[in-house]
């Protein structure tokens, strides 16, 4: 089952969607990122591997490879998602 991840903080207009895509590609995760009207970013990830998802979220929060990201993620909400993986930024 896919996962929906909501990122909150300073996540729009700061390269967040591309930043999320870089770490997803490194971990072999396919998905999408979309800016939401409330200022958050919604990720839809085509993976149900909990270990990979935890590594991915940890990487987003700590940026271990030092990729350019000019924002800050302050909250992450993960839930199951049964819809189609779609959005305005596919990876």
pLDDT tens figures, 1-12: 799 999 999 999
Catalytic site residue 17? yes
How many structural domains does the chain have?
Answer: 1
Sign of the CA dihedral with 78 first, then 79, 80, and 82 last: negative
Which range of residues forms the domain containing residue 48?
2-82
Indicate whether 32 belongs to any domain: yes
Question: What pTM was estimated for this model as a whole?
Answer: 0.93
Q: Report the CATH number that the domain containing residue 33 is assigned in CATH.
A: 3.30.70.100
Between CA 71 and CA 12 the distance in angstroms is 8
Tell me the per-residue pLDDT of 63-90, one tens digit each, with 9 for 90 and over: 999 999 999 999 999 999 998 888 889 9
Say whether 63 is catalytic.
no
**Does a structural domain hold residue 70?**
yes
Q: Would 87 be classed as within a structural domain?
A: no
Q: Which of 10, 30, 35, 63 is catalytic?
A: 35
């Amino acid at each position: 089952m896919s996962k929906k991840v909501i990122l909150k903080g300073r996540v729009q207009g700061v390269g967040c969607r591309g930043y999320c895509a870089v770490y997803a590609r490194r971990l072999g995760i396919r998905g999408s990122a979309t800016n939401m009207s409330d200022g958050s970013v919604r990720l839809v990830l085509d993976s149900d591997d909990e270990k990979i998802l935890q590594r991915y979220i940890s990487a987003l929060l700590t940026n271990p490879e030092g990729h350019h990201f000019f924002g800050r993620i302050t909250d992450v909400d993960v839930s199951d998602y049964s819809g189609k993986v779609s959005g305005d930024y596919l990876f």
